[in-house]
Amino acid sequence: MFPVDALTLAAFIPAGLALNLTPGADLMFVLAQGLRGGTRAGMAANLGIAAGCLVHVALAALGLAALLHAYPAAFEAVRWGGVFYLLWLAVKSWRAPPPAEAQATPAPLWRIFREALVVNILNPKVALFILAFLPQFVVPARPVLPQFAILGLVFCAGGLLVNGAVALFSGRLGRLLRQDRAARALNRLSAGIFTLLALRLALMERT
């Protein structure tokens, strides 16, 4: 039997894509590199971010699986920690100012990839967000590690596609995101998504 059922996957894919579409540190990093060095630079940053995301997913999956196996109460701790973290993200997104225009200078592609990888790995908010988001779609009655791995790969693939589009069209997207009205609308959208996810996680029952 496939670790993740079709209905869960069907709900997870659009939710993951919606979250990847909301402006964040990774998207803005790719955007800055694309504006600075063109499509190739943006794609190098995109690949570095995706590699960092895979590292976070692997570490989070191993740690969460071990905790849930040894301490069933850990699932509740992670769940409610995720609720409060997502609500904090919602408030932060609602109050966020428009993104500032990125300033950068050209750099070799391998250096851009390395910087993106390191920036993503050393950002603790990425690990916290993965632990807040992915467990909403994990069924504790089934093996946790395969579910977490599959959902994590799907989420990282979504980020790769979204950030890849940002890299390809960085000039146009950069002009859009620097407009106050568009930036505020995207911030409000982010806040709404985070709030709905927090409510879903709070109402979820352990089976």
Provide the 10 A C-beta neighbour count for residue 124: 9
Q: Parse the chain into domains and list their residue ranges.
A: 6-203
pLDDT at 79: 73
pLDDT at 101: 44
In the structure encoding, which two tokens stand for residue 60, read together?
């989070």
**Distance, CA of 151 to chain centre:** 12
Mean pLDDT by 10 residues, the chain (207 residues): 80 82 77 79 93 87 66 73 79 70 61 88 72 79 82 91 89 60 70 78 65
Distance separating alpha carbons of residues 77 and 148, to the nearest angstrom = 17
pLDDT at 177: 59
